[in-house]
């Protein structure tokens, strides 16, 4: 416990299996002498198997017996996109990230055998620049830190501890399902390799640790070079990026994506996408598509754009005392001193639409006006156009009708467009 960073709350990821239960018992033993630890547990129920309810019930009983607060989060996982295993992992880490407060620490029970399996799994999958990089013993997670204190121990050691302590745990039935890639490696491939190379698990784990260190250095290089390429809006300069060598470009782009919390695309896709983004003619709109996002180019800059919900294709009435969901964001109305909440209409841009940016001024094409404001094409499609009694009063947070602006300057109402992504 002395090696942990200073923390606000201490969380334990509890599945109910051997590894996490042993970790829970160890932390609980320390907490008995240090009541100020503030230990909590989190159990994620993926609802993917008949035994999921039994495992959740076991975790509830265990935490109740130990006097540890438990948060149970149920998620729904589909096979779309990265497959069931990958999607379950993403859902699990999304839950962890959402629970982490400023300075919180999450303990996970991964061990040396997990590290070896991770290295082999990533080699078989061809995981790009990370290669056989394993799991770091510590990394940032949301507003807190993820720590893996059991990484120097084998599963056999944890089993011996569990039996010596007399602890109970639940074996996940899916762990024996060799149709799942990791289980196939664990039960079929690694035992066969051990017959030929008895120390293969230790060797793989050591290789994974060394690659983690190398990857950290590449991440540091990417951060240093990105400082000269990225602007205050999180965009990358195409010209500055193109001045780097191709390996440096790929490394920088990979770490830029990792910083966004997404997985870089496979190496061949990254290579081709990078070539398109840096060399395509100025009138083209190249993009690099990833899982849940795209990297787009506009006027000499690269933008990371998350896949987003599209706003409705029809006009909607807005009862302004409530927020209005709009795509991945929302519209908020802040009333003036009179606390009046009008009913407004919100819609998307219409083909060939025109408006008067200045009172009494000439009518302008909305399309050309947005181009002059340097609004990327993918942003133009989702802009909310707000009307009051058939009069356009706002275009997102870019423009507001003059008389509405005057009311704002006198402390009147205003419309705020909160966007959850760029």
Binding positions for ATP: 15-20
Nearest-angstrom CA–CA distance, 181 and 169: 24
What backbone torsions phi and psi does residue 291 show, to the nearest 5 degrees? -80, 100
Nearest-angstrom CA–CA distance, 141 and 150: 18
Q: Which helix (H) or strand (E) holds 73?
A: strand 69-74
Other C-beta atoms closer than 10 Å to the C-beta of 199 total 9
In eight-state DSSP terms, residue 266 is: P
| 244, two tokens | 């780097």
Q: Counting beta carbons within 10 angstroms of the beta carbon of residue 80, is it exposed (0 to 12), middle (13 to 18) or buried (19 or more)? A: exposed
Nearest-angstrom CA–CA distance, 93 and 91: 6
The answer to whether the beta carbons of residues 141 and 96 sit under 8 Å apart is yes
Tell me the H-state helices in 13-127: 18-33, 52-66, 83-99, 112-125
Residue numbers belonging to the annotated binding site: 15-20
Taken as a whole, the chain contains a residue count of: 422
Closest CA to 382 of 328, 334, 323: 328
- Beta partners for residue 355, in sequence order: 364
Nearest-angstrom CA–CA distance, 150 and 167: 17
Q: In what order do the strands lie in the sheet with 316-319?
A: 316-319, 343-347, 385-388, 391-395, 399-400
Pairing of strands 105-107, 10-13: parallel
| Alpha-carbon distance values, 271 to 129, 172, 250, 258, 267 (Å) | 11, 40, 7, 16, 6
The single residue listed with the structure tokens 């069931």 is 84
């Amino acid at each position: 416990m002395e090696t942990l960073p200073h923390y606000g709350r201490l969380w334990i990821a509890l599945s109910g299996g051997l590894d996490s239960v042993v970790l829970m018992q160890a932390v609980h033993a320390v907490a008995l002498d240090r009541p100020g630890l503030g230990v909590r547990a989190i159990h994620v129920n993926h609802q993917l198997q008949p035994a999921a309810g039994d495992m959740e019930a076991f975790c509830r009983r265990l935490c109740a017996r130990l006097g540890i607060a438990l948060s149970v989060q149920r998620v729904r996982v589909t096979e779309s996109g990265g497959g069931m295993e990958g999607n379950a992992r993403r859902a699990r880490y999304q839950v962890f990230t959402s629970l982490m407060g400023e300075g919180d620490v999450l303990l996970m029970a991964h061990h040396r055998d997990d590290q070896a399996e991770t290295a082999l799994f990533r080699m078989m999958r061809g995981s790009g620049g990370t290669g056989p990089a394993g799991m770091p013993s510590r990394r940032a997670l949301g507003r807190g830190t993820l720590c893996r204190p059991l990484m120097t121990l084998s599963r056999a050691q944890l089993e011996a501890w569990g039996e010596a302590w007399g602890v109970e745990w639940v074996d996940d039935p899916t762990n024996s399902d060799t149709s799942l890639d990791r289980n196939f490696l664990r039960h079929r491939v690694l035992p066969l390799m051990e017959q030929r190379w008895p120390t293969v698990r230790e060797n793989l784990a050591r290789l994974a640790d060394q690659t983690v260190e190398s990857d950290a250095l590449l991440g540091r290089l990417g951060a240093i070079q990105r400082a000269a390429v990225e602007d205050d809006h999180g965009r990358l300069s195409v010209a500055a990026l193109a001045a780097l060598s191709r390996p440096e470009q790929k490394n920088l782009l990979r770490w830029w994506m990792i910083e966004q919390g997404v997985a870089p695309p496979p190496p061949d896709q990254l290579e081709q996408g990078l070539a398109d983004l840096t060399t395509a003619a100025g009138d083209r709109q190249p993009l690099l598509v990833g899982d849940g996002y795209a990297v787009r180019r506009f006027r000499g800059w690269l933008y990371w754009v998350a896949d987003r919900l599209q706003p409705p294709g029809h006009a909607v009435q807005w009862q302004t005392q409530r927020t209005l969901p709009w795509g991945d964001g929302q519209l908020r109305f802040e009333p003036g001193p009179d606390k009046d909440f009008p009913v407004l209409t919100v819609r998307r841009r219409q083909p060939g639409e025109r408006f008067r940016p200045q009172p009494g001024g000439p009518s302008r094409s909305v399309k050309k006006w947005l181009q002059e404001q340097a609004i990327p094409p993918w942003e133009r499609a989702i802009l909310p156009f707000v009307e009051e009694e058939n009069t356009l009063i706002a275009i997102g947070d870019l423009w507001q009708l003059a008389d509405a602006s005057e009311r704002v300057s006198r402390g009147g109402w205003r419309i705020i467009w909160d966007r959850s992504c760029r």
